[in-house]
Structure 1
Amino acid sequence: MTRLTEFPAPTHGVDAVVRAMRALGAQWPPGDGVSVFNGVYLTVTERVGRDIHGGGFPDRRAATTLAVLFARRYLVAVRAVEEGERPPACWQPLFQFRRHPGVRPVQFALAGVNAHIGHDLALAVVDTCRMLACEPADLEDEFDRVGELLVALEEQVREELMPGPDLLELADPLTHLAGAWSLERARDAAWSSARCLWALRRLPELGDETAARLDAAVGLVSRFLLTPSR
């Protein structure tokens, strides 16, 4: 069984996560759907690391802990697949369709971001609160700063990975599919989910059920995002 303890610890910093992501990227072919997401996420993680080292976060320890625990959930999903285990439901569509010729790079990127933001970020906030013995409200500044970096990157992802000349994009079904998903809305929902899961920590059975429902719902959205375009 893959466990979170097998992956970079917050005390090792974001640099350890960056090294792990680079190693993954080196072993996958460029057209692999998971590799596409990994490249996008690596860019974000490198930027977060630079901002942490440069004093761009109000609380460096909290920002590092959140960033590392967040990334570890993605790394756990990758390891699960490599070991023949089933990853969380939110990640299953990306791994299932990673080599589908009818799915375009922007779809892989958005499906991965949806899984990671919609499900993993909420649980990472809860993980961080437990590790630092704090409340979600104590992490709001760090959460918002990471969210700002992600939202800024979303536009870059769409510009770089969306196919076709501008005049044809309005008629492309992919434009409508990708345009229906919003990272900003996903981030806001993740914050609400984190607060809800934290409030349910003393009701573990209900908390586990709520987390499982969240996982399944986010996975459904990822499946729609990966609808083959040809």
Structure 2
Amino acid sequence: MRLLGKTAIITGGGSGFGAGIARKFAAEGARVMVADINRDAAQSVAAEVGGIAHTVDVASNDSVQAMALAALATFGTLDVLVNNAGITHLPMMMEEVPEEAFDRVLSVNAKSVYLTARHLVPHMKTNGKGAILNIASTAGVSPRPRLNWYNASKGWVITATKAMAVELAPFGVRVNALNPVAGETPLLKSFMGEDTPEMRAKFLSTIPLGRFSTPEDMGNAACFLCSDEASMITGVAMEVDGGRCI
């Protein structure tokens, strides 16, 4: 029960890594808000973990503000924020990515971190404590060709994490990131371009441990970084990648 008594918001919590983090947090004693743009998915996971569901578009200031207010109204306080929601563009040459796809990737993957900070960091600073976890990617460390702007957005998240950690440390707020390799999530097909045995084998050949990241892997790592056991850890971008970035 490493998160007993703590409250948490997990964006993109309705599926994939976010759902895995929500399940782990709840199992470790946290009260969880499962926030997702897909209302049904959020409600399903929230019901499973005994949490609350909230529909949010993390790229919208008004929507993120409403999420923050709802969480504080329900919980009274917030201890943990997990910025997990993310999307990618389809694999293609950088100059061929449509402007609309570029804008959406940067809005969901990068602007969302700014928006949640805008509406929740003041509360954590007042409390003198808090943990923020940003879900980045190995793509921000070891970029793959044809995912240029997705790579760049995750590199932004890693740099933002370190900058946030330095600025918020005097206020008792820790900020870390996780860098997963691709996993069995709704984004897997988009990363590979097509989900075939041949493409999976090619992708897995780049991961020394020979498997994808799982929601359970992410939940375990997230739980540690957001728990008091990691009270001396801030500004870290931990790779959960089976050795992909070696």
Please tell me the TM-score bracket, short chain as reference.
Answer: 0.3 to 0.5
TM-score by length of 1: 0.38
Q: Which has the higher contact order (CA 8 A, sep 6+)?
A: 1
Structure having the higher strand fraction is: 2
Where is the helix percentage greater, Structure 1 or Structure 2?
1
TM-score, reference length from structure 2? 0.36
